[in-house]
Amino acid sequence: MGDHTDHTEKSTPHELPLYQKVEVPSQTSETARQYMAQMVDSLDAILELDLASFAANKTLPAKLFELLSEALDCYDHYIEHIVTAEGWDVSCRRGCSACCEHELARGVTALEALNIYRHVRDWEDIGSLYEHAAENAVTFQQLLAEEMRREPGPLGPDDPRVTKAHLAYNRLKRPCPFLDREQGACRIYPVRPLVCRFFFNLSPAEWCDPDHEGYLKRETRCMDPYTAVQERLHAINQRLGIRVLHFLSGAFMTLAGNVMEGKPLQLV
């Protein structure tokens, strides 16, 4: 679990200038290590379950989602510990939904999409949620296609064309399908993906508007889980045997439509 060893805050370049990944002393504290170890234990327990048959019969052990909830709770405690230990004055709070109003949440996995689908499948407005997600997904894919027409070639990790499409999408200010705009709150908060948990803005909240002059100058933080956690999440997704688009609207669209075909997930 010793992936993070630096003892001073250090920013590292990320694919977007407004998303600053950092390493800080509290990430390697005993408390942080305990939370990450507990998260790894929960994910290891998921890997011991029967996941391989999902692609064929759309059935999963109910225990998977109990263990995933435990893992996400550990991650939330890990984040809370770091924010408190570093003394960060975070602008993000209930009622502030700036990111959800326009940000493209990239880095969503098939496991997380399944968790969201299970959570919302029986909602009365599931049809409109799917349509909203599909519209968002198609919009981003079209923007990315335009960038690839201008600069042909295969996509690579942290590809600048994805960055350009991402920023262009944000400026369109298309809200997340899971945002309750009246309340300024996330409707899937308990099952929101990691990417929606690890991003913080330390600048004034109004800077989160893509039209604000400070948008690309915001002081932000992205706190990834330890490498051991990321490796296990990847292994779980491999075992599930399905692929989804790696951004929230796209992941939900492909999981709900292409994989589940709107049918309920069977738990055993």
Quick one: pLDDT at residue 228?
Answer: 97
Quick one: pLDDT at residue 12?
Answer: 39
Quick one: pLDDT at residue 15?
Answer: 45
Cα 74 from Cα 96, distance rounded (Å): 24
Quick one: pLDDT at residue 48?
Answer: 98
- Maximum pairwise Cα distance, the chain: 52
Quick one: pLDDT at residue 2?
Answer: 46
Per-residue pLDDT of the chain (268 residues; tens, 9 = 90+): 545 444 344 443 344 555 556 788 999 999 999 999 999 999 999 999 999 989 889 999 999 999 999 999 999 999 999 999 999 888 887 778 888 888 889 889 999 999 999 999 999 999 999 999 999 999 999 999 999 999 999 998 788 999 899 999 999 999 999 999 888 899 999 999 999 998 888 888 888 888 999 888 888 888 889 999 999 999 999 999 999 999 999 999 999 999 999 999 999 9
Domain boundaries, the chain: 10-267
